[in-house]
Amino acid sequence: MNTHSPVSGSSSPDVARSGAAPFRKTSWERPVTGPDLGTNRTTHDIDLWWGLVDRVIEVARANGWSMGEVARRIGMPSGTFSTWYSGKYSGRLDNQNLAVGKWLDAIEEQADICSQIPASPGFMKMQMSQEIIETLSWAQMTSDLVMITQGAGTGKTEACRHYCATRPHAYLATVSPQTKTVHGMLVELAAELDVIEHNPAKLTRAIGRKLQRIGNGSLLIVDEAQNLVDDAINQLRHFVDVHKCGVALVGNNEVYGRFTKKNDGPSYAQLKSRLGKRLKREKPRVSDLRTFISGWNVSDPDCIKLLIGIGMKGGALRQIDKTMKLATMIAMGNGEPLQVGHIQAAWKNRDVEDVT
């Protein structure tokens, strides 16, 4: 029997005294004993196994992964991983050590790369974001229906998130092509409102009761509203009329296009007449682009000029953000301060479109 002892204080005294199983899958306890020496494993294999076990424990605990999840990520059958981890694996230990070691090395390499990627600037007060916040405030104070339509990457979602984080009774739900129906939208709203109702037929009423408990002054913000079907938009109008809550439809110009096109149904007239305010802007302001660029601590005039050109493309602030992340990594890799050449290289590497 291998007598290699575990690290002092790392094993549970209760487990050692009771003779219970050497580890519990839920707590990632360190095994009490290691694998036996044999013809298919050496002392080096066993020493390496102890080190790998400690690394697995650290990674799994940090990420909240179960034993089955770790086995899946390694690409190893769960039964094989379980016996390897417990020190009871009877096969060649070096092969399993190699598989676990490669996975751990990849995890650590990814973590190292992620730690070097610069963080995006947080919420920044720009003229555009201020206009969004004022429009949301109007909807919440007056229990009105408003619409915010802006181009992609102009910061509307961040402004909405900031609003919800700094105001009571404001809720942000994001819809997608998969949740565009009335029921799909209601499920998203229920999750944000902490409403639990498993009967689809009662979901509208359950959300209504929650809005009534809140009283006047609640706001439902629906982001990516261009994905909604017409009946879902009409359901939001119902919340405004019946429960006196504010509703903000946030998305691209396709949302408002529904109000201007001809339609045989009466719902469009009802919706258009209830629209209290619309905020529309397709292109970002240069002043807002400069503010966002300053958040990246860029002061070189040539860099600023190039980034403004990038920001005027479709995607606006998002284009600047992605380009600056890559440009910063290129500069760091070359051991150089950020220069216009790094931004040019990043934009070319992204291969989105030319800057005119």
| pTM score, whole prediction | 0.66
The string of pLDDT tens digits covering residues 31-84 is: 988 898 888 889 999 999 999 999 999 999 988 999 999 999 999 999 999 999
The predicted structure's pLDDT at residue 181: 95
Beta bridge pairs of residue 277: 146
Question: What percentage of the chain carries pLDDT values higher than 70?
Answer: 85
Query: What is the rounded distance in angstroms from the CA atom of residue 103 to the CA atom of residue 101?
Result: 5
Sheet containing strand 219-223, edge to edge, reads 170-174, 219-223, 246-251, 145-150, 275-281
- Confidence band (pLDDT; 50, 70, 90) for 353? low
Query: What is the rounded distance in angstroms from the CA atom of residue 38 to the CA atom of residue 316?
Result: 63
- Confidence band (pLDDT; 50, 70, 90) for 311? very high
- Confidence band (pLDDT; 50, 70, 90) for 7? very low
Lowest average pLDDT, out of 44-53, 223-232, 344-353, goes to 344-353
Categorise residue 244: left if φ over 0, alpha if ψ from -120 to 50, beta otherwise: left
Query: What is the rounded distance in angstroms from the CA atom of residue 9 to the CA atom of residue 266?
Result: 73
Question: Rounded mean pLDDT of the chain?
Answer: 85
Query: What is the rounded distance in angstroms from the CA atom of residue 277 to the CA atom of residue 240?
Result: 14
The string of pLDDT tens digits covering residues 246-256 is: 999 999 877 76
Task: Output 215 or 59, whichever has higher pLDDT.
Answer: 59
Query: What is the rounded distance in angstroms from the CA atom of residue 282 to the CA atom of residue 314?
Result: 9
Helix residue spans in 277-339 (DSSP H):
286-294, 301-311, 316-334
Query: What is the rounded distance in angstroms from the CA atom of residue 97 to the CA atom of residue 47?
Result: 10
The predicted structure's pLDDT at residue 356: 46
Domain boundaries, the chain: 13-116, 127-281, 286-350
The predicted structure's pLDDT at residue 27: 72
Question: What percentage of the chain carries pLDDT values higher than 90?
Answer: 61
What sign for the dihedral angle of Cα 156, 285, 289, 226? positive
Rounded average pLDDT over 320-343: 91
Query: What is the rounded distance in angstroms from the CA atom of residue 287 to the CA atom of residue 127?
Result: 8
Task: Output 312 or 6, whichever has higher pLDDT.
Answer: 312
Query: What is the rounded distance in angstroms from the CA atom of residue 243 to the CA atom of residue 209?
Result: 9
The predicted structure's pLDDT at residue 276: 84
What sign for the dihedral angle of Cα 27, 28, 33, 35? positive
Lookup: tokens for 173: 């739900």
CATH fold of 127-281 reads Rossmann fold (3.40.50)
Beta bridge pairs of residue 248: 146, 221
Query: What is the rounded distance in angstroms from the CA atom of residue 298 to the CA atom of residue 121?
Result: 12
The string of pLDDT tens digits covering residues 149-201 is: 988 888 899 999 999 999 999 999 999 999 999 999 999 999 999 999 989 88
